[in-house]
Amino acid sequence: MVFTHPLRGQGSAMSRITGVAVLVAGACLTACGGTATGGTATGGLGTGAGPGKPGNGAARAPGACTVTDKLIPTCGAWWGIAPDVFSGRGPARAIELAERRMGRRADIVHVYHRGGELFPTAEEREVAKGPRLLLVNWKPALDHTWAEVARGDVDGRIDRLAEHVRRTFPGRFFLTIHHEPENDVREGGGYSAADYTAMFRHVVTRLREQGVRNAVTVMTYMGAPNWTARPWFGRLYPGDDVVDWVAFDPYADGRVGDFATLVDKTRPDVPGWPGFYRWMQARFPAKPIMVAEWGAFERPDAPHFKRDFFDSVARQIGNYPQIKALVYFDSPLAPRGDTRFDTTPGATRAFAQLGRDRRFTSTPVPAS
């Protein structure tokens, strides 16, 4: 979602894709549902939920599932949240309240940074001890163009961040660089698709050169079909060598009736577009897919929509085995409406039940 965070101010015709894409580094091709796939789990097991201490849902057999070096769960998918966005609460309190509301610990916590902010912050490092995985969403520069970042104008900022990460946080974490670039692209002026690609590549390469080896990189698209018709859309991808996961940020607007139409949105004015999941499955068959933001808005004319929508995720998620993480955007003040998952009793129950599904509880989170 495009927003100002409170803490920081190929459309070519494609046929229907079938079958299962192959995932890298031994990640399972389908949701293992707790079935052993080899290897040893690298994190502690969740415990039963209690007051103020949510567990991770269903019990898991030790050693049944593991995590690759790129943080791909070999069974099922990660369950994550951007908690209480726009509330002004810090991440520790926000995730505490969110986990109490949904009755389990999050696997991933999504946080946002920009410019010269150093991360993970001390509070974010405490959150990661859950154990939880951090998904850090960083816009390296709002005071420089993508072209300027690519040519090195903020290298000092990148180097300071690299030193901070090396010194304070040895654990692996997800890092997405300037998410949802589509609506920022402008031909000329340093904001072309080529400039974005060069910026992304430069930032990742510079961090690696400065010793940051624990960042698992994520390229995050908006997930809106209208941008896919732009002639530059296919040129946004920075390259397999600097991208570990691909992601998109779909929201349940009026065109969405269930999970299937969320992850594979189409529009009549974009003929031939198969939907983002199908496109990613074809374009990136060896990459895990993350739904890095997703949310359901209130519908006054459909008071049970959120409940029914969350129920549809439980029914349909098995049809999308390449999705290895779902990270909900939870906010009462999202630009287009209230996305909190617990605004009605039915929605609260459905979301909590979804979070306890074995698909989202099969692989323990590795310790940070």
For 192-258, the DSSP string reads SHHHHHHHHHHHHHHHHHTT---EEEEEEE---GGGGGSTTGGG----TTT-SEEEE--EE-TT--S
Task: Let me know if residue 37 belongs to a domain.
Answer: no
Task: Let me know if residue 57 belongs to a domain.
Answer: no
Task: Let me know if residue 56 belongs to a domain.
Answer: no
Which of 96, 99, 124, 293 is labelled catalytic?
Answer: 293
Task: Let me know if residue 4 belongs to a domain.
Answer: no
CA count, 13 A, side-chain hemisphere, 141:
23
- Would residue 182 show up in a list of annotated catalytic residues for this protein? no
- Would residue 180 show up in a list of annotated catalytic residues for this protein? yes
Task: Let me know if residue 36 belongs to a domain.
Answer: no
For tokens 């002639």, the residue is 231
pTM here is: 0.85
Task: Let me know if residue 144 belongs to a domain.
Answer: yes
CATH code for the domain in which residue 197 is found: 3.20.20.80
Q: Which residues of 315-332 are buried (b: 16+ CB within 10 A; e: fewer)?
A: eebeebbbbbbbbbbbbe
pLDDT tens sequence for the chain (368 residues)? 654 443 333 333 333 333 333 333 334 343 333 332 222 233 332 333 333 344 444 444 545 899 999 999 999 999 999 999 988 899 999 999 999 999 999 999 999 999 999 999 999 999 999 999 999 999 999 999 999 999 999 999 999 999 999 999 999 999 999 999 999 999 889 999 999 999 999 999 999 999 999 999 999 999 999 999 999 999 999 999 999 999 999 999 888 999 999 999 999 999 999 999 999 999 999 999 999 999 999 898 999 999 999 999 999 999 999 999 999 999 998 888 899 999 999 999 999 999 999 999 999 999 87
Domains: count for the chain: 1
Helix axes 345-355 and 91-102, enclosed angle (nearest 10):
100
**Which structural domain range is residue 128 located in?**
78-360
For residue 55 the two structure tokens come to 């567990």
Task: Let me know if residue 347 belongs to a domain.
Answer: yes
User: In a 10 Å sphere around its CB, with 0-12 CB exposed, 13-18 middle and 19+ buried, how is residue 165 labelled?
Assistant: buried
Task: Let me know if residue 198 belongs to a domain.
Answer: yes
For residue 221 the two structure tokens come to 């698209």
Q: What pLDDT, in 10s, does the model give residues 25-71?
A: 334 343 333 332 222 233 332 333 333 344 444 444 545 899 999 99
DSSP H stretches of helix in the chain: 91-102, 122-128, 146-150, 155-168, 193-209, 259-263, 276-283, 305-316, 345-355
pLDDT of residue 57: 42
- Rg (C-alpha) for the chain, rounded Å, is 19
pLDDT of residue 88: 85
CA distance 246 to 72: 12
Which of 180, 182, 187, 209 is labelled catalytic?
Answer: 180
CA distance 194 to 176: 18
Q: Are 236 and 196 in contact (CB under 8 A)?
A: yes
Beta bridge partners of 183: none
